[in-house]
């Protein structure tokens, strides 16, 4: 069975969705959830689903300690599901084209440092965009610049709050992200 490691910083709705998807499909399993936030709800959700959680500091991430923990788990794919820190180059170098991220906008628009969650949805609303969506891409050494794997879009021209945009985008995330991960693991 293929092994997935998730990295997340917050509530973990995508992480939970991915864990449940593969528990049902039985083609892969989530072997760990790593978080930089000891209070992240994702850790509770993972624990309830039987997936161990690991909390780390920025120093541990950048010193190679997290890489050692990841390598010991021997993942087939590393998935960033709402992970807010820049991913370290040592992990990117060890796992080329084995690390994927989901971004809540149609890259290259609204990507880069500080562009996550409500910051993205607010910017889309302020710029009166008619569409938004998701971008699933490989992770490289720069924020949101890795090779594109998949995009899906949704009309947001009727939305009047960033929260409404967030809900529409999250529906796309929950629908497509596990399926794309599954396809990547099969290729």
| Active-site annotation, residues | 103
Residues 160-170 as b/e (b if ≥16 CB within 10 A, e otherwise) read: eebeebbebbe
Length of the chain (residues): 187
Give CA separation, 181 vs 14, 101, 110, 131, 159, in Å.
Answer: 12, 10, 23, 24, 29
Own/partner long-range contacts of 109-118 (Cβ < 8 Å, ≥24 apart): 111/135, 111/143, 111/144, 111/145, 112/143, 112/144, 113/86, 113/143, 115/143, 115/144, 116/82, 116/84, 117/10, 117/82, 117/166, 118/162, 118/163, 118/166
DSSP 62: H
Closest CA relative to residue 80, chosen from 71, 92, 68: 92
């Amino acid at each position: 069975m293929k092994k997935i490691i998730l990295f997340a910083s917050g509530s973990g709705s995508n992480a939970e969705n991915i864990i449940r998807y593969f528990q049902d499909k039985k083609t892969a399993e989530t072997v760990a959830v790593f978080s930089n936030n000891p209070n992240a709800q994702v850790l509770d959700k993972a624990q309830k689903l039987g997936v161990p959680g690991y909390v780390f500091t920025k120093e541990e991430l950048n010193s190679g300690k997290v890489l050692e923990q990841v390598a010991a788990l021997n993942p087939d794919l590393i998935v960033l599901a709402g992970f807010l820190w820049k991913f370290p180059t040592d992990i990117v170098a060890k796992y080329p084209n084995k690390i994927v991220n989901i971004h809540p906008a149609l890259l290259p628009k609204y990507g880069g440092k500080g562009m996550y969650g409500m910051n993205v949805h607010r910017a889309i609303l302020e710029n009166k965009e008619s569409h938004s969506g998701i971008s699933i891409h490989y992770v490289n050494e720069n924020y949101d610049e890795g090779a594109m794997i998949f995009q899906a879009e949704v009309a947001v021209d009727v939305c009047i709050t960033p929260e409404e945009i967030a809900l529409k985008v999250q529906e796309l995330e929950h629908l497509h992200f596990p399926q794309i991960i599954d396809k990547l693991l099969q290729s």
